[in-house]
Structure 1
Amino acid sequence: MKKNILTLVLLLTVSIITAQKNQRIAYIDMDFILQNIPQYIEAQNALNDKVAKWRANLDKEARAIEVLKTDLSNEKAILTQDIIEEREEDILVKQEALRKLESLYFGTNGDMFMLRKTLIQPIQDQVYNAVQTIASRKKYDFVFDKSGELIMLYSNKKHDISPLVVKLINIDQKKQAKYDKLAERKKLLDKESVSEEAKERAAKKEALKQKKLTEREKKLKQIEEKRQARLKAREEKRRLLKEKKDALRKAKEAAKKKQEEDAKKKGDDASDQKTN
């Protein structure tokens, strides 16, 4: 009640000041704006799904602890004191772990806070920037949030700039989407260009490799041809030498045979002379 009275006093004070100074006032309905931004709905749904999973996990752990408590209560009469104390300590440890897990999920700087900051804060910043732009263009002196803590007891629809905010955000998002599309297209073109350059470099590299292989094969061929030529020359030299040796041997044999024939002929002649 006290808060409402203070709010009323603040509104009346602002109204008096603006009336006296001819200042311009506008207001927005943050709920209306956010509900007309598809990205916000998607982000909020994603956040809600994650929160639901976290709460389900916490509920599961809590139920498991309750089962432990119930089992201990039912079996306490047949358990030794050491076992009772051990199981009570185990329950306390699990309860502490559950509190830490809850703090990790929903604490001041927990997962929900960080996820909300990641998903929703950028959209809220867009709304704030859009309000600033519109207020600057239309020269408003005050812009209130109808759905905020400052309660409006009366508002004239003509001062509601919420549709303008939504329109400006949509325009900015379309521009951003167009820019992102162009950036993605440029990225693809750059990638294709890089790919073509890479292919060209690879082709040049392969051509150079083939050239080197061809030159190497050519050199090897030349070396082999020289080796074959040397072998052929060596074989020819050996053939000529063999032919020369064979000719000498045949000449010696022929000379020896002739000597023998000559000696035999002399012997025969000498024998004929003696007979005569």
Structure 2
Amino acid sequence: MKRLLYVLPLLWLVLWPMASQAQKFGYVDSEFLMSKMPSYAQAQAELNTLSQNWQKEVEAQKKDLDKLYRTYQAEEVLLTEAMKKKRQDEILKKEQDIKAYQNKVFGYEGQMFKKRQELTKPVQDQVFEAIEKVAKKKQLAIVFDKSGDLTMLYTNPAHDYTEFVLEELGLASEDRNQPAQKGAVRTVTTPATPGGAADDAVFDDQTPASKAPATRKPPVRKGSKPE
């Protein structure tokens, strides 16, 4: 029995690489995908407008509270104890109303929260459906979200399926995942003497891009699509 318990972990170590190789995985950037959705941008604009309007209402209520408090301070010496108590209760009630309104609008499951769900959930569902279709087409067992809570310390572009999801959504660009154009060939005139007028290298190509060092390679876009 002890020998079996000793052999099983070794057997698992041998079989695990084979099992992991049989599983395909990939990742997408959901934030990038959402930013490409026109309906999401429209939802965000509407939410920003609502938030600004609600915030203005809160600020107006706070101004009323401040005015109420300043009036009380100015007239306090002329008030009886009963009148003071009444004014203080009014101020306290106003403070409580403002806090209640803020919580109703901006609190957890408040109006802002519910409106965000109402406007963005359909867009999120559309993106997730596209991700699911790509995962099935590419036979992916697992799809990670690069912009989620999962910390991805390194990502190989070969496993990036974001462009495939954009294609599924009909939002992919025509030049997606294409290698960059080769840069112009540049030559460098070597200065005649150190520290002379030609101290800086002079490039034949006088465009702004030609001011880069001669040894710099042309930029290369994100790697080609995974198969």
Amino acid in structure 1 at the alignment position of 2:32: F
Q: Which amino acid aligns with 1:109?
A: E
Matched, 1:122 2:122: yes
Using the TM superposition, give the Cα deviation of residue 19 of structure 1 relative to its aligned residue in structure 2, in angstroms. Answer: 7.3
Match of 1:20 in 2: 20
Task: Tell me, in whole angstroms, the C-alpha distance in 1 between the residues paired with 2:148 and 2:111.
Answer: 25
Alignment partners' CA distance in 2, 1:121 and 1:151: 24
Alpha-carbon shift at residue 85 of structure 1 (Å): 1.0
Query: What corresponds to 2:137 in structure 1?
Result: 137
Aligned-pair CA distance for 1:51: 0.9
Counterparts of 2:166 and 2:91, CA distance in 1? 52
Partner of 1:97: 97
Q: Identify unmatched segments of 5+ residues in structure 2.
A: 1-15, 172-227
Q: How does 1:1-276 map to 2 (within 5 A)?
A: 20-170=20-170
**1:82 is paired with a residue of what secondary structure?**
helix
Q: Secondary structure at the match of 2:136?
A: helix
* SS of residue in 2 equivalent to 1:66: helix
The Cα shift of 1:22 comes to 3.0
What per-residue deviation string (whole Å, max 9, x for no partner) do you get for residues 62-108 of structure 1?
22212222222233222221221111111121122212211221233
What corresponds to 2:195 in structure 1?
A: none
3-state secondary structure, aligned to 1:144:
strand
Q: Between the two proteins, what is the percent identity of the paired residues? A: 31
Q: In the aligned structure 2, how far is the partner of 1:64 from the partner of 1:118?
A: 32
- Could you say if the C-alpha distance between residues 128 and 17 of structure 1 is closer, same or farther in structure 2, counting changes exceeding 3 Å? farther
The answer to whether the 8 Å contact 1:18/1:24 transfers is no
CA 1:53/1:30 → structure 2, altered by over 3 Å: closer, same or farther?
Answer: same
Q: Which amino acid aligns with 1:161?
A: Y
SS at match of 2:143: strand
What is the one-letter code of the residue matched to 1:89?
D
Rg: which structure is higher?
A: 1
TM-score by length of 2: 0.63
Q: Does the Cα contact within 8 Å between 1:30 and 1:145 map onto a contact in 2? A: yes
Q: 1:18 to 1:78 in 2, by over 3 A?
A: farther
Whole-angstrom distance in 2 between the partners of 1:18 and 1:124: 35
The answer for the alignment partner of 1:273 in structure 2 is: none
Gaps of 5+ in 1: 1-15, 172-276
TM-score for both structures, normalised by structure 1: 0.53
Is the Cα contact below 8 Å between 1:104 and 1:110 reproduced in 2? yes
Query: Alignment RMSD, CA only?
Result: 1.9
Q: How many residues align?
A: 156
Secondary structure at the counterpart of residue 109 of structure 1: coil
More helix by share: 1
Runs of 4+ in 1 over 6 A off after TM superposition: 16-19
1:130 aligned partner, one-letter code = A
Report what 1:248 is aligned to. none
SS in 1 for 2:151: coil
Q: 1:37–1:166: 8 Å Cα contact kept in structure 2?
A: no
Quick one: distance in 1 between partners of 2:30 and 2:74? 54
The structure-2 alpha-carbon separation of the partners of 1:38 and 1:17, relative to structure 1 and needing over 3 Å to count, comes to farther
Q: 2:158 and 2:21 mapped to 1: Cα distance? A: 20
